[in-house]
Amino acid sequence: MQLSRREAIVRLALLMGASFVTPRLQAADFGTSSTPPDGFTPADLALLDEIGDTIIPPTDVPGAKAVGIGAFMAMMVTDCYAAPEQRAFRDGMTAIARSFRTRHGVDFVGAAAADRTIFLNEINAALRQPKTAESGAPAPKYFRIMRELTILGYFTSEEVATKVRPWIEVPGRYEGNVPYRKPARSR
Amino acid sequence: MAIPSSHVYDAIVVGSGISGGWAAKELTERGLKVLLLDRGQNVEHIKDYKNALKQPWEVPHRGRATNAFREAHPGAQSRWRSPGLNDEWWADETKNPYVETKPFDWIRGYQVGGRSLIWGRQSYRWSDLDFEANARDGLAVDWPIRYADLAPWYDHVERFAGISGNRDGIPQLPDGEFMPPMDLNCVEQHVAARLEAHYGGKRRLIQARVANLTQAIHDRAPCQYRSKCHLGCPFGGYFSTQSSTLPAAVKTGNLTLRPHSIATRVLYDKDRQRARGVEVLDAETRETIEFSARLVFLCASALNSAWLLMRSATEVWPGGLGSSSGELGHNIMDHQLGAGASGRVEGFDDRTVYGRRPGGIYIPRYRNLQGNEGRGYLRGYGFQGSANRSNWQRDVAELAIGSDLKEALLEPGDWSMGIGGFGEILPDHANRISLDPQRTDAWGLPVLAMDCRLTDNDRAMRREIISDAVEMLEAAGVKDIKTRDGHYNFGNGIHEMGSARMGRDPKTSVLNAHNQVWDAPNVLVTDGACMTSASCVNPSLTYMAITARAAAFAVAEVNRGNL
């Protein structure tokens, strides 16, 4: 008899009674999705990948680019944000690309990580002082969206939720007082 | 017009939520052929919990609301839905509007199983502090029952539904037939000990009592600590119609479940002074069908059961069946919530938890236990809450982007402890619902207009909920305490009650002590509509007990030839 995945898991749980760990399930990761959402070019996604990878860079564990954060941000902005926020987001991308190039003479994508980090941290700092108007520049609320979506997409990605901070879909029991240990991270 | 024999039953139960599921189970198990109606679509246990086993990265938009979702769900209910995960449950606001004469959040579950699929599962017994309250305070009318009338039925429903909890020996929150409780976590234990010491046992922090299994029962596995109850549990880990009462009713062979069936009228025989059945509008075909039965149980949820009564027997009573007292649709109550406090707890950075517990803590009512203690308000409140350790979702606005932010968010954050009050709202004739003279729903049926508001009693209580929350957290050594006083609209507690209250006198109440409509004793209303006062305690377990009691009584009356 052919069981669906769901039935198989439930039957296993009934057999085991309490604790077991669900098998890792196949899922399409957003990083591999085919066409970018409306209005985003491959170059846009590359820029968003690099912005995400500056917010959450690769260290001993992958950074945001490795989980396809550019495509995720484009999809989320398109589907979940109102038109003015979408415009602000697009304007912000343009502003980052243009002013980075003006200052450093090279494209943001592929630039040295240190330069990218310092540059975006200036925008990030402006978020903390919302009253300070930058002359001519769009309000940095677009950067709040970039930061939030990068964190959301990164920590809920399959890569991170299986290898870096393993998500246990079916814990099977509750213990309210266990020692905290840093999880061993697979490289 | 003769009703075809396929449309004749012993009993018709309107609504398949917590109360209706219990009515169907108890009636079918006593041998009655039962037609169970629900206005919404069917939801099959396990099979229709389509998103219950999705991993975080499989969740569309990671659980965030899309523009399309916001457009499709403009009402108050959108705050309670899990976007992209249980959209098809709840009520479709565009097809099922209502009129807010005063602001009212009506959070409904228009599907088979009703709100039992998506409820909060907190399950506590009421006590004589509640059943004697109106008599003691000289308010509204006296409950026609006392705790002793319900105690065996609480036993009965707890054993079958599966309630986990501790036997705490608190008179105003009676112990029951519990499965072992879920653990308090280390911070909650710490806070409980500090409160015990500070208040000398007068205020107690206990494990929440929840309708989540800690032991297997029937065909149901224990809770797997996924905390995804609102998506339906493929393990049957929490009580719902689907996991619990419906399979029991189906097993008898006496049940017919009819989804997409909007009950539009109780059919009333004025010569016999009895209901003869229920008129149903098929929500899909728009066909009108009459079903007949010797018993009719209204379990359509507090406001909808009243709506149905208001539309019935209007040739005898213009205000509808049960309106002869002048109380039908009045005395609407809820629990006010959204007020409380939270703060940071130090000293547990080397501790964490395993598993995601679908419950928390409860601080039972401690105010006005002896009646009016002169605090500027009557009755009282309990607190629910929990201690939690934050994760990456906290973000850390102070941190610069880059590897520091990443490393910080890969580690757990601070522990916090939060508590929020559930406050009793007094029965008040002025708080009412009625049929709106103009507006209709997608089926051309009149909709309800809500005219309910808080009073000075509620506002005075709310102030003390907040100051008490702060005082208790301070006593427990919690740091950086922040108060919360969220906007509360009537109905927001999703504990609406009182529209067809029980009482001792047909002149001042709609139902008698066995939930029979005074004017039609074969019509029994056993959902939140029947409540004579609101207590501050979550009501669902009491609906279960009241329904089981009324069903047993009604069948006995049938067998005695009285119905």
In the predicted model, is pLDDT for residue B465 greater than 50?
Answer: yes
Q: Where does residue B84 fall: left (phi above 0), alpha (psi -120 to 50 degrees), or beta otherwise?
A: left
In the predicted model, is pLDDT for residue B231 greater than 50?
Answer: yes
CA-to-CA distance for A134 and B378, rounded, in angstroms? Answer: 55
Least confident of A140-149, B12-21, B127-136, B156-165: A140-149
CA-to-CA distance for A36 and A39, rounded, in angstroms? Answer: 8
Q: Are strands B446-451 and B8-14 parallel, antiparallel or unpaired?
A: unpaired
Q: What are the per-10-residue average pLDDT scores of chain A (187 residues)? A: 49 41 32 61 97 97 97 97 95 96 97 97 82 53 95 97 93 97 63
CA-to-CA distance for A27 and A169, rounded, in angstroms? Answer: 14
Set of chain A residues whose Cβ sits within 8 Å of the Cβ of B400: 121, 124-125
The amino acid present at B514, given as its one-letter code, is H
So what's the pLDDT on residue B80?
82
Residues 6+ apart with CB under 8 A from B422: B335, B336, B337, B381, B382, B383, B384, B493, B536, B537, B538
B148 to chain A, any CB pair closer than 8 A? The answer is: no
In this structure, the number of other CB atoms found within 10 A of the CB of residue A94 comes to: 13
Burial category of B419 from C-beta neighbours within 10 Å (exposed 0-12, middle 13-18, buried 19 and up): buried
So what's the pLDDT on residue A36?
61
Check: CB of residue B105 under 8 Å from CB of residue B335: no
- Whether residues B185 and A79 touch (CB distance < 8 A) is answered with no
**Total count of residues recorded for chain B:** 563
Out of A61, A152, A177, closest to residue B351 by CB? A177
- Whether residues B226 and A22 touch (CB distance < 8 A) is answered with no
So what's the pLDDT on residue A4?
52
Burial category of A15 from C-beta neighbours within 10 Å (exposed 0-12, middle 13-18, buried 19 and up): exposed
Residues 6+ apart with CB under 8 A from A147: A55, A124, A127, B395, B401
Check: CB of residue B497 under 8 Å from CB of residue B110: no
Distance from CA of B259 to the nearest CA of A (A): 25
- Whether residues B55 and A167 touch (CB distance < 8 A) is answered with yes
Coil, helix or strand at residue B140: coil
Burial category of B527 from C-beta neighbours within 10 Å (exposed 0-12, middle 13-18, buried 19 and up): buried
- Whether residues A171 and B235 touch (CB distance < 8 A) is answered with no
Distance from CA of B93 to the nearest CA of A (A): 20
Checking A20-24 for CB contacts under 8 A at 24+ apart, the result is A20/A170, A20/A172, A21/A168, A21/A169, A21/A170, A21/A172, A22/A169, A22/A170, A22/B53, A24/A162
So what's the pLDDT on residue B398?
81
Set of chain B residues whose Cβ sits within 8 Å of the Cβ of A180: 349-352, 412
Set of chain A residues whose Cβ sits within 8 Å of the Cβ of B350: 179-180
- Whether residues A27 and B66 touch (CB distance < 8 A) is answered with no
CA-to-CA distance for B555 and B563, rounded, in angstroms? Answer: 8
Closest residue in chain B to residue A119, using alpha carbons only: B401
Question: What backbone torsions phi and psi does residue A37 show, to the nearest 5 degrees?
Answer: -60, 165
Q: How far is CA B469 from CA B396, B420, B478, in A?
A: 26, 7, 11
CA-to-CA distance for A85 and A142, rounded, in angstroms? Answer: 7
- Whether residues B53 and A22 touch (CB distance < 8 A) is answered with yes
A148 to chain B, any CB pair closer than 8 A? The answer is: yes
Residues 6+ apart with CB under 8 A from B98: B104, B106, B436, B447, B448, B449, B450
Check: CB of residue B497 under 8 Å from CB of residue B529: yes
Q: What is the DSSP string of B208-271?
A: PPBSB-SS-BTTBPPP-S---GGG--TT--B--IIIIIHHHHHHTT-EEEE-SEEEEEEEEETT
- Whether residues A175 and B354 touch (CB distance < 8 A) is answered with yes
Set of chain A residues whose Cβ sits within 8 Å of the Cβ of B49: 6
Query: Measuring CA to CA, which residue among B558, B36, B18 is closest to residue B254?
Result: B36
Set of chain B residues whose Cβ sits within 8 Å of the Cβ of A30: 57
Q: Which of residues 128-147 of A touch B (CB under 8 A)?
A: 128, 147
Out of A14, A59, A171, closest to residue B354 by CB? A171
Burial category of B350 from C-beta neighbours within 10 Å (exposed 0-12, middle 13-18, buried 19 and up): exposed
Name the band, by pLDDT with cuts 50, 70 and 90, for residue B405: very high
Task: Give the pLDDT mean for B397-423.
Answer: 94
Closest residue in chain A to residue B356, using alpha carbons only: A174
The amino acid present at B395, given as its one-letter code, is D
So what's the pLDDT on residue A127?
79
Question: Across all residues in chain B, what is the average pLDDT?
Answer: 96
B186 to chain A, any CB pair closer than 8 A? The answer is: yes
H or E segment to which residue B336 belongs: strand B335-336
Distance from CA of A43 to the nearest CA of B (A): 22
- Whether residues A56 and B405 touch (CB distance < 8 A) is answered with yes
Out of B65, B235, B395, closest to residue A13 by CB? B235
Task: Say how many CB pairs under 8 Å bridge A and B.
Answer: 159
B388 to chain A, any CB pair closer than 8 A? The answer is: no
CA-to-CA distance for B296 and B385, rounded, in angstroms? Answer: 39
Q: Where are the domains of chain A?
A: 41-164
Name the band, by pLDDT with cuts 50, 70 and 90, for residue B3: confident
Place of tokens 């109606």: B37
A69 to chain B, any CB pair closer than 8 A? The answer is: no
Out of A27, A124, A155, closest to residue B55 by CB? A27
In this structure, the number of other CB atoms found within 10 A of the CB of residue A106 comes to: 12
- Whether residues A161 and B56 touch (CB distance < 8 A) is answered with yes
Distance from CA of A31 to the nearest CA of B (A): 11
Residue to test with chain B: of A180, A181, A182, A185, most B Cβ within 10 A = A180
Set of chain B residues whose Cβ sits within 8 Å of the Cβ of A7: 46
Residue to test with chain A: of B57, B186, B361, most A Cβ within 10 A = B57
So what's the pLDDT on residue A184?
66
The amino acid present at B387, given as its one-letter code, is A
Check: CB of residue B245 under 8 Å from CB of residue B21: yes
- This complex has an ipTM of 0.91
0.90 exceeded by pTM: yes
Residues 6+ apart with CB under 8 A from B392: A151, A155, A165, B409, B410
Query: Measuring CA to CA, which residue among B10, B4, B15 is closest to residue B38?
Result: B15
Q: Which of residues 318-357 of B touch A (CB under 8 A)?
A: 349-357
- Whether residues A177 and B412 touch (CB distance < 8 A) is answered with no
Check: CB of residue B347 under 8 Å from CB of residue B487: no
Out of B56, B183, B222, closest to residue A176 by CB? B183
- Whether residues A121 and B401 touch (CB distance < 8 A) is answered with yes
Coil, helix or strand at residue B353: strand
> Which 3-state string (H, E, C) describes B380-443?
CEEEEEEEEECCHHHCCCCCCCCHHHHHHHHCCCCEEEEEEEEEECCCCCCCEEEEEEEEECCC
Task: Give the pLDDT mean for B322-331.
Answer: 98
Q: Are strands B288-298 and B274-282 parallel, antiparallel or unpaired?
A: antiparallel
Query: Measuring CA to CA, which residue among B96, B135, B356 is closest to residue B224?
Result: B356
Set of chain A residues whose Cβ sits within 8 Å of the Cβ of B395: 147-148, 151
Task: Give the pLDDT mean for B237-258.
Answer: 98
Residues 6+ apart with CB under 8 A from B541: B123, B124, B125, B154, B157, B158, B161, B163, B211
Beta strand extents in B254-319 (DSSP E only): 255-258, 261-269, 274-282, 288-298
So what's the pLDDT on residue B396?
80
Out of A17, A151, A172, closest to residue B392 by CB? A151
So what's the pLDDT on residue B511?
98
Set of chain A residues whose Cβ sits within 8 Å of the Cβ of B216: 17
H or E segment to which residue B471 belongs: helix B456-475
CA-to-CA distance for B76 and B115, rounded, in angstroms? Answer: 15
Q: Which of residues 78-107 of B touch A (CB under 8 A)?
A: none
- Whether residues B53 and A5 touch (CB distance < 8 A) is answered with yes
Check: CB of residue B296 under 8 Å from CB of residue B526: no
Check: CB of residue B176 under 8 Å from CB of residue B125: yes
Out of A55, A153, A179, closest to residue B401 by CB? A55
Check: CB of residue B266 under 8 Å from CB of residue B42: no
Q: How far is CA A96 from CA A57, A91, A127, B196, B287, in A?
A: 18, 9, 15, 57, 61
| Angle subtended at Cα A143 by Cα A138 and Cα A145, rounded to the nearest 5 degrees | 120
Place of tokens 């059945």: B277
In this structure, the number of other CB atoms found within 10 A of the CB of residue A1 comes to: 3
The per-residue pLDDT for range B262-310, each reduced to its tens digit, is 999 999 999 999 999 999 999 999 999 999 999 999 999 999 999 999 9
A176 to chain B, any CB pair closer than 8 A? The answer is: yes
Out of A14, A171, A176, closest to residue B185 by CB? A176
Closest residue in chain B to residue A29, using alpha carbons only: B57
What share of chain B has pLDDT > 90, as a percent?
A: 94
Compare B226 and B87 and report the one with higher pLDDT.
Answer: B226
Distance from CA of A93 to the nearest CA of B (A): 17
The per-residue pLDDT for range B73-93, each reduced to its tens digit, is 887 777 788 898 998 899 998
Place of tokens 């309670």: B80
In the predicted model, is pLDDT for residue B542 greater than 60?
Answer: yes
Residue to test with chain A: of B48, B406, B417, most A Cβ within 10 A = B406
The per-residue pLDDT for range B359-388, each reduced to its tens digit, is 999 999 999 999 999 999 999 999 999 999
Closest residue in chain A to residue B357, using alpha carbons only: A174
Question: What backbone torsions phi and psi does residue A41 show, to the nearest 5 degrees?
Answer: -90, 165
